[in-house]
Structure 1
């Protein structure tokens, strides 16, 4: 068939086939050859592509050459200097949130003009400005100190983030674009520059030599920075100095006893800074030229960047307060020896994250605090993790476990105690650190760690087979450890499944299976808790925590049963498609490594059982008779209400945070109980699309929108 370009090409006759033109032009080129126009590099070509990341996508945009050129020595008023310093904090916090240095810090043009505003490098013959309200020292002394302090804070933060606890280009952006971050300047030197700027502000009403450097001609002028600007500028410089000292202490001594005082000082100075609001500079003010969001395009960068707009100042102050509060929380964790408390705090900041608690810097500091590569919490050997596991989960000691194995061992070879301790330590340490990964990476880690938990469970099961019978099965430490390991593995499975809701991974049919699967996993988990609680001292924290977890998981199971019973009635998709989605979503359960272990894993998903559950008479009966799903949610409401008054267990200082999360879950269950259809007729006509899964409302369960609230039941 003859090819007709006017018919066969999409778009009609407005297009012309130019293939032959390019073939003729490239006739003399060999495969792999690259032809570049003058001034057009491979990096320029790569920068023209969209890469799908909203923080970086740039498309094609030209620099705006209509704006006036930036003059770093243009006179500024004290109010304009305050505004510039405040906006530099906005740049800093946007970098903390995940944007690049090019889009944030390096869009602050004074960063690139430090030599131009260095008083020792300004030509000696330059006369002082006649305007006493705009003294040059506001730029060469005050603003320069603030810029150097900003860069030093970024340098200290960069060093912490570069430790490897968080991931460059995934959690944070470390590309410096050949721009220095004051790496060569010691902290004491930078703090000295800030102190000198504060001293100049205090003495600004006295005679000041211009320029403030060695020269043959001394010119003295009277410069005055009046109140309240003098105090406002000093507060900002002191706040910057406090941040430098805080970051430097976190980097070198993460468990210093001075940290609480330093954080309180920073919070106090932040309150002083935010007390008075500043007005925006006039459109013609030179202060507005200090920030150029398009400047990233002239830097050496390997990532195509788009222009970002800095958030309003209120958001910046809230981010800074959240950062400092989170560091205070890290300090509290550093003084907490209980591993279970670390786990509770880590789960809470994932399930119900507070404002800016997920900054990469905070997550890196937290992981380094727990394990610095040598010691746990900067004071314990690695064995501390295992010892705490036995004490906090089983209410017994690790020595009692090893002694029980040694005295009852019947195997031909020595018992694998060293292997058990080493494996358990590695798994638990990684388990705690993963609580401060970013959510997608944490989910992937949990899925991969399930095999390690199963391997440990199989080893302890094998040990149990070579032991003499225990006199009292309830006090059989080895059997109880086996159950505890299985319980931890089931909790990880629960997190893998429920995190899919928080990450908005599931399609409608996948949600039905996820809730059914959670119910099965929780049933096994609750069975493990019941076995562990038998024989434990009722007054111990281990017993109280297990009792708390039993009630909490029972409430989760009841809500999951209710949502499954409602959503399964609306299944209209094919079983073939559902099975393919099942194999794709739960591929972690079918990795070949499990074939190397004779013991079959507990808690793995079964599509056959799910299909049988969906077709069972019980599901249909639940909706036709007494609306069992309403009874399930009513049970969850009752349990969650009791949990708000329960003892703390291992929650410690985070008991109030845990109650806040329970209250949030209770609010969701109340909403569902009130808004679910209460009769068979309303269920028939009820729109299932009114169920809305919004992670900002609740990470796991839906709320009902567009449905008028029913009177309380």
Structure 2
């Protein structure tokens, strides 16, 4: 009996409970210290000492306890659990894990599961034998040591692998994710194979146990889901991407079984409730205090996990599509369609890694592949043919040097494709800079033509199109910058007319450029099918934007000086960096004065938006027939059809609105959750 008491004391309170009050000793010692003097032991910083004070402000005081916190049942890591309680704990551990992947802090999510901090306490190799001989067969200790422990191992290892991927700086700490580990181990040194082996052993123990079959199946499915997720993360980490598709299929099937076996929340006095502490940050080494985070409902967690599986599926799809167009369309649709939520930071980082890493594109090609595809997919002419024409036509000073131009293309194209998997604000900032990069490439092509023309010989038509090739990508980038402003809700009401007006003119320039290059693109080629679709799609977009310029130009404008200052702030990316004329535009577009004149013309002439919307309605009926099917996968084809259907629905609403078929209190409402670019009609 005495031996048992000794064991309990050592397991409950390390060092025993024979404490002595040392307050008087400290007070006596402090008398010899000066005011504002502090003694810090090695490793104990001023930040740690400040965290020890309770100042009574919940937002800043990570150590403050509320009255309801004192009422929580105490956590005992070795308290036996029922299998249904263990199922609930594992389910809620997924909530914490998904919360961290979504961009919250580990101390708010994963670390709130207290078993994360007491794994050694439930290690079967260090527990005395009597712990495994319980009289209560419904709560065997093996549920903790053989089932829960491997499940927590797998969760922490997932976080370790994700942390390693996110720390490669393809996404950004504090923007997309939180890197602070609070000096808690994520099992960095534990091999994945070891954890998989422990999960397999847990399944064998469950299969041979005397637990009710319902809970054997429920726990086995949850362990299988943990194992499959760990294998998915490991496949991305090691580059074994061919394993993604079968593993995603297994995970979906397992998740479906788990969702059909929901668990009920245990009663308040259950040890399972005590296993989670939302205020764990008060006991951790943290850089900043964190507020309590309410984790989402279990159904929401499973929905998030479904979307995570969609992310792996999309990575597998993209790695098999070796064209710039496939990546561009896939990324665009994820930005443009409200039905496609932003991927988690982990998948956005992994996708960029799959596209280009260490100068290798798609795992198979050198960077020169980007140059070849850039020309082949844009104008249907190989880069080898272009180089041959350039060499035969060159008459400039010195030898023809293309290496610098090739490097510029590689850097600009790869960054543009990767930008689809940035977070939205960062992507918009990147595209602002990319407009200038495309302009520099266009100027470089123009300089080549000038040197060739100086020789007095004829210039091959293919060479004439080179500046237009860069211009096409430039106009696409410029359009995306302005459109993204609607998606991120940057524009005030009086700014919308100018934004739509500029989009109209950029689209006009892009359509003219497409017409310039059309004559050299071989009929029936990859590039020609895409060009024909772009002409139709951009024409529809121009008609709708033109109509919205007319509809929004009735908004009251502030004074001219305010509009001018706002233009310089909002469109500074479009202004030339030349010192001789700071207000000059980077490329030829109408000036702000032309906008004021067009607004006045609309008001004085009473121009209606109805005509353009009706033309767009007719064009949208035929637009699906122009979507290239042979050169993109079904995912991209279906996505483009969905985009067209969405545009048709918005166009119909706007047409009814301007035609007077709506009630008098109808108005336009911009909500990116309904459509990223255009308003919907609502009744106030």
TM-score when scaled to structure 1? Answer: 0.85
Match of 2:307 in 1: 322
Q: How many residues align?
A: 639
The residue matched to 1:592 in structure 2 has which SS? coil
State which of 223, 234, 237 in structure 1 corresponds to 2:223.
237
1:601 corresponds to? 586
| Contact residue 232 and residue 248 of structure 2 kept, 8 A | yes
Q: Which residue of 1 aligns with 2:620?
A: 640
3-state SS in 2 of match to 1:704: strand
Q: Structure 1 residues 603 and 134, CA, compared in 2 at 3 Å: closer, same or farther?
A: farther
SS of structure 2 residue aligned to 1:143: helix
Distance 2:545 2:53 in 1: 47
Deviations 1:181-234 (A, max 9, x none): 111110110111111111111111xxxxxxxxxxxxxxxxxxx21211111111
- C-alpha contact 2:532 2:626 (8 A) present in aligned 1: no
C-alpha separation in 2, matches of 1:439 and 1:427: 18
Segments of 5+ residues of structure 2 without an aligned counterpart are 1-33
Structure 1 residues 410-462: Cα deviation after superposition (integer angstroms, max 9, x where no partner): 21122231111111111101111111000000000000112111111111100
Superposition RMSD in Å:
2.8
Q: What is the distance in 1 between the residues matched to 2:319 and 2:659?
A: 49
Instruction: Summarize the Cα distance change of 1:321–1:333 in structure 2 as closer, same or farther, 3 Å threshold.
Output: same
Matches within 5 A, 1:276-355: 276-352=261-337, 354=339
After superposition, residues 417-496 of structure 1 pair within 5 angstroms as 417-468=402-453, 476-496=461-481
Please state whether the residue corresponding to 1:163 is helix, strand or coil: coil
1:227 aligns with 2:213: yes
Of 626, 629, 646, the residue aligned with 1:664 is 646
Cα 1:143–1:136 change in 2 (3 A) is: same
Q: CA deviation at 1:119?
A: 1.0
Q: Is the 8 A contact 2:132 2:140 kept in 1?
A: no
Change (3 A) 1:127 1:521: closer
Q: Which residue of 1 aligns with 2:633?
A: 652
Partner of 1:19: none
More moved, 533-542 vs 515-524: 533-542
1:704 CA displacement: 1.5
Match of 1:566 in 2: 551
Query: Do the aligned partners of residues 460 and 94 (structure 1) sit closer, same or farther apart at CA in structure 2, a change above 3 Å counting?
Result: same
Aligned residue number for residue 260 of structure 2 = 275
Aligned counterpart, 2:531 = 546
Q: Distance in 1 between matches of 2:341 and 2:482?
A: 25
Taking a change above 3 Å as real, the CA distance of residues 561 and 84 of structure 1, as seen in their structure-2 partners, is same
Question: Hey, what's the Cα distance between the residues in 2 that align with 1:518 and 1:342?
Answer: 24
C-alpha distance in 2, partners of 1:693/1:348?
A: 19
1:620 alignment counterpart: 604
Distance 1:631 1:285, change over 3 A: same
In structure 2, what is the equivalent of residue 138 of structure 1? Answer: 143
Alignment check: 8 A CA contact 1:319 1:356 kept: no
Q: CA deviation at 1:595?
A: 6.6
> Residues 467-499 of structure 1, C-alpha deviation per residue, up to 9 Å, x if partnerless?
1499987x6222212101011111111011010
- 2:100 maps to which of 68, 80, 95: 95
1:141-180 residue pairs with structure 2 within 5 A? 141-180=146-185
Structure 2: distance between partners of 1:483 and 1:59 = 60
1:673 aligns to 2:678 (yes or no): no
Give, in whole Å, the separation in 2 of the partners of 1:630 and 1:47.
Answer: 67
User: Counterparts of 1:110 and 1:606 in 2: how far apart (Å)?
Assistant: 63
Once the two structures are superposed, residues 288-329 of structure 1 have per-residue CA deviations (whole angstroms, 9 ceiling, x without a partner) of 111111112221111221111111111111111111111111
Match of 2:673 among 668, 671, 696: 696
Once residues 127 and 335 of structure 1 are traced to their aligned partners in structure 2, the CA distance between those partners, rounded to angstroms, is: 51
SS at match of 2:173: coil
Could you give the per-residue CA deviations for residues 9-35 of structure 1, whole angstroms, max 9, x where no partner exists? xxxxxxxxxxxxxxxxxxxx99xx998
TM-score (norm 2): 0.88
Which shows bigger deviation, 446-455 or 495-504? 446-455
What is the CA–CA distance in structure 2 between the aligned matches of 1:35 and 1:586, rounded to whole Å? 53
- SS of equivalent to 2:178: coil
CA distance in 2, matches of 1:153, 1:365: 14
- What is the CA distance between 1:536 and its match in structure 2? 2.3
SS in 1 for 2:281: helix
Name structure 1 gaps, 5 residues minimum.
Answer: 1-28, 50-55, 205-223, 708-713
Deviates more, 1:378-387 or 1:402-411: 402-411
Whole-angstrom distance in 2 between the partners of 1:600 and 1:581:
15
2:111 aligned partner: 106
Shift of 1:59: 6.8
